[in-house]
């Protein structure tokens, strides 16, 4: 059984690697030619990430002379959006943090108004050129996130509208086309067979565009000057980093591989909060979402120089074993050592953590005694420990992993580690100036 899992892991690694990627790109090019599929940007008018992405796209169009067809879509549907209310609240907070770090604009402070979104939709379903659609969106969007009804009314007259009754059928159709094309959420860009989500994956898209067009990379989105991101305390209390993660999450693996290096310069202790996988917590994870996540994680792992690809899904007994041993290792002060060893085994070595042979290798690599570890399996208190972690995560309006909290900085995703590093820098500057 273990040999079969290893072989399957190697096959997956090949599929995720350059050979598989080249094959997928070639197939996508053929499909795009046959269907005359345009380069596309999918946006949700109520979505802060879509607004930030559209700002970047306008710069891409200017820098590279490309045209991207703008598709207005609905919010993601239930099978790929297990916590819509939490997502909406988190999106505003995350967009604020992104715009503070990157040279982008976002003045939103609260949830959008559904009536204003419907009015916005009547403008955006009107037939226009792709360039004019971008201009109209970016002209109107600030009024949506600042809830400026008076200015919105003025802009509705400027750009012209269609009937309210036409909006929902059109955006439902567009979302169905997005799903058919191979993705499931807004703030997505599609080019040359690959999907790029929002600001986080913009560098990959820029590289692809520059290579395809024979132009230098323009770096259309860059961090704001540090002078604009001055001293700012995270808390008046001593700092601790809480990290929620799942052994079934490839992004959690990438976060665990990086987090210690981010915290070390500031001597910030870390508290690990492992949670059960989303599907175990009653949240769906359909194939379209799972496949994108694995491909995207591979892309990120390659950029970061982290081994990835020979994987073995731990769902079931494997997750139960890892949670039990994480609980036991934490009590021994070795939680991070075990978590990193287990994650590397799952995501880079096709280790089957449901089997004692592989589990033992992972435990001993972390410097822990196997016989004691084996005795720690199956303890009933582990379930309550894991559930408490998930409940704590929900309190800060988060549901997915990896998520982290340091003082007043709360974020979801390993992509936010550069923002955390910047906030730690700013906190250090604030405390040092205070001491001086």
- Do 338 and 380 belong together in one domain? yes
Contact predicate 386/276, CB 8 Å? yes
Burial of 295-325, coded b for 16+ CB within 10 Å and e otherwise, reads bbbbbbbeeeebebbbbbbbeeebbbbbbbb
Q: Which of 169, 194, 213 is the last residue of a domain?
A: 213
Residues 330, 389, single domain; the answer is yes
Place of tokens 């894991």: 386
Q: Which is more confident, 285 or 121?
A: 121
Across 175-184, average pLDDT: 94
Within this chain, do residues 200 and 281 fall inside the same structural domain, yes or no? no
What CATH number does the domain containing 293 carry? 3.40.30.10
Domain assignment present for 134: yes
What pLDDT does 214 receive? 95
Distance of CA 357 to the CA centre of its chain: 33
If pLDDT is split at 50, 70 and 90, which confidence band does 17 have? confident
Q: In terms of domains, do 209 and 260 share one?
A: no
- Average pLDDT value for residue range 5-32: 64
Same domain membership, residue 248 and residue 190: no
Where a domain ends, among 213, 231, 263? Answer: 213
Task: Please state, for a pLDDT cut of 70, what percent of the chain lies above it.
Answer: 91
pLDDT at 9: 65
* Amino acid 193: pLDDT: 85
Domain shared by 176 and 258, yes or no: no
Q: Mean pLDDT, the chain, as a whole number? A: 92
Judge if 195 and 312 occupy the same domain: no
Confidence of residue 116 (pLDDT cuts 50, 70, 90): very high
pLDDT at 280: 87
Task: Establish how many alpha carbons lie within 13 A of residue 175's alpha carbon, considering only the half-sphere containing its beta carbon.
Answer: 18
Q: Are 400 and 331 in the same domain? A: yes
Query: Which pLDDT does position 47 carry in this prediction?
Result: 97
Is 334 inside any structural domain?
yes
Weakest-pLDDT range from 90-99, 103-112, 182-191: 103-112
pLDDT level of residue 7 (50, 70, 90 thresholds): low
Look at residue 140 and tell me if it is in a domain.
yes
Alpha-carbon distance of 165 to 170, in angstroms, equals: 10
pLDDT at position 4 is 67
Query: pLDDT exceeding 90 applies to what percent of the chain?
Result: 84
Q: Same domain for 41 and 179?
A: yes
**Residue written as tokens 């008076």?**
150
pLDDT value at 24 more than 70: no
Q: Which pLDDT belongs to residue 34? A: 41
Residue 170 within a domain: yes
Q: Is residue 200 part of a domain?
A: yes
Q: At residue 401, does pLDDT exceed 50? A: yes
162 lies in a domain? yes
319/424 same-domain check: yes
Write the pLDDT tens digit of every residue in 348-396: 999 999 999 999 999 999 999 999 999 999 999 999 999 999 999 999 9
pLDDT for the residue numbered 22: 63
Q: Are 183 and 163 in contact (CB under 8 A)?
A: no
In 208-339, DSSP assigns E strands to 241-245, 270-274
pLDDT at 36 exceeding the cut of 50: no
Say yes or no: 150 and 189 in one domain.
Answer: yes
Both tokens of 229, joined, read 């991101």
The answer to whether residues 183 and 273 belong to one domain is: no
56 vs 200: CA distance, rounded Å: 11
Q: pLDDT at residue 177 above 70?
A: yes
pLDDT, average across residues 5-14: 68
Total domains in the chain come to 2
pLDDT tier at 298, thresholds 50, 70, 90: very high
361: in domain:
yes
207 in any annotated domain: yes
- List, for residues 40-57, the tens digit of each pLDDT value: 899 999 999 999 999 999
Instruction: Provide the domain limits for residue 88.
Output: 34-213
Q: 162: pLDDT confidence band, cut at 50, 70 and 90?
A: very high
């Amino acid at each position: 059984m273990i040999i079969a899992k290893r072989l399957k892991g190697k096959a997956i690694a090949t599929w995720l690697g350059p050979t598989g990627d080249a094959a997928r790109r070639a197939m996508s090019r053929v499909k795009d030619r046959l269907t005359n599929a345009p380069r596309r940007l999918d946006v949700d008018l109520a979505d802060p990430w879509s607004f930030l992405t559209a700002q970047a796209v306008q710069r891409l169009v200017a820098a590279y002379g490309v045209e991207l067809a703008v598709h207005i879509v609905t919010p993601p549907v239930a099978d790929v959006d297990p916590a819509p209310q939490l997502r909406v609240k988190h999106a505003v907070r995350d967009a604020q943090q992104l715009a503070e770090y990157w040279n982008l604009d976002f003045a939103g402070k609260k949830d959008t108004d559904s009536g204003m979104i419907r009015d916005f939709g009547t403008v955006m379903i009107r037939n226009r050129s792709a360039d004019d659609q971008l201009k109209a969106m970016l002209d109107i969007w600030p009024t949506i996130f600042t809830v400026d009804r008076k200015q919105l009314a003025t802009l509705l007259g400027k750009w012209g509208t269609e009937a309210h009754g036409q909006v929902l059928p059109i955006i439902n159709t567009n979302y169905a086309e997005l799903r058919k094309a191979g993705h499931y959420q807004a703030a997505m860009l599609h080019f040359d067979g690959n999907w790029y989500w929002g600001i986080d994956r913009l560098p990959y898209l820029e590289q692809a565009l520059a290579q395809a067009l024979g132009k230098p990379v323009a770096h259309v989105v860059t961090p704001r000057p540090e002078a604009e991101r001055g001293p700012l305390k995270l808390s008046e209390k001593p700092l601790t980093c809480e990290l929620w993660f799942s052994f079934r999450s490839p992004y959690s693996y990438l976060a665990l591989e990086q987090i210690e290096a981010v915290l070390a310069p500031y001597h910030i202790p870390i508290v690990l909060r492992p949670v059960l996988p989303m599907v175990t917590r009653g949240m769906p994870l359909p194939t379209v979402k799972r496949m994108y996540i694995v491909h995207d994680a591979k892309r990120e792992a390659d950029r970061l120089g982290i081994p990835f690809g020979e994987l073995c899904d731990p769902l079931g007994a494997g997750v139960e074993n890892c949670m039990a041993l994480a609980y036991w290792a934490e009590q021994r002060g070795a939680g991070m050592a075990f978590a990193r060893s287990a994650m590397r085994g799952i995501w880079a070595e096709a280790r089957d953590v449901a089997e004692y042979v592989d589990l033992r290798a992972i435990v001993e690599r972390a410097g822990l005694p196997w016989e004691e570890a084996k005795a720690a399996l199956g303890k009933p208190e582990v379930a309550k420990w894991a559930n408490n972690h998930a409940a704590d995560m929900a309190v800060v309006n988060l549901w997915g992993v990896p998520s982290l909290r340091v003082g007043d900085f709360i974020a979801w995703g390993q992509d936010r580690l550069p923002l955390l590093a910047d906030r730690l820098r700013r906190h250090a500057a604030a405390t040092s100036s205070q001491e001086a």
